[in-house]
Amino acid sequence: MTTPPRDPDWPSWATEPVELVAPDPAWQQRGRRAGQTLDAALGQLLAGPVEHVGSTAIPGLPAKPILDLLATVTSLDVAEEVAHLLAPEGWH
């Protein structure tokens, strides 16, 4: 697989090659903890609890070793506030 040209405005993770690894039973626990952390950080901006989604959320499935989380917000009007709260911690 070839790596596409890097756009200087894109984060490095957006163009890195994808590598699948063997399933890791710790992914589910890490996903729960990360969701709880985000629940606490975003509080009233959330419409429901943060969910661990994507391939690492499926036990026994080989996956790219990156946890994907879904945070449903009360309104898209809070997007800038969410970004402001999460950016210092390295969240994308």
* Chain-centre distance for alpha carbon 41: 14
- What value does the CA radius of gyration of the chain take, rounded to a whole number of Å? 15
Mean pLDDT (whole number) for 65-79? 95
Residue in this structure with the two tokens 């699948």, named with its chain if needed: 20
> Please, which pLDDT band fits residue 11 given cuts at 50, 70 and 90?
confident
pLDDT for the residue numbered 4: 59
Per DSSP, 28 falls in state: H
In this structure, what are the phi and psi dihedrals at residue 21, rounded to the nearest 5 degrees? -125, 165
pLDDT for the residue numbered 2: 57
Mean pLDDT (whole number) for 38-59? 96
Q: What is the CATH number of domain 20-89?
A: 3.30.460.10
Q: Report the candidate in 17, 32, 12, 19 with the shortest Cα–Cα distance to residue 65.
A: 19
pLDDT for the residue numbered 1: 54
**DSSP H or E segment with residue 7:** none
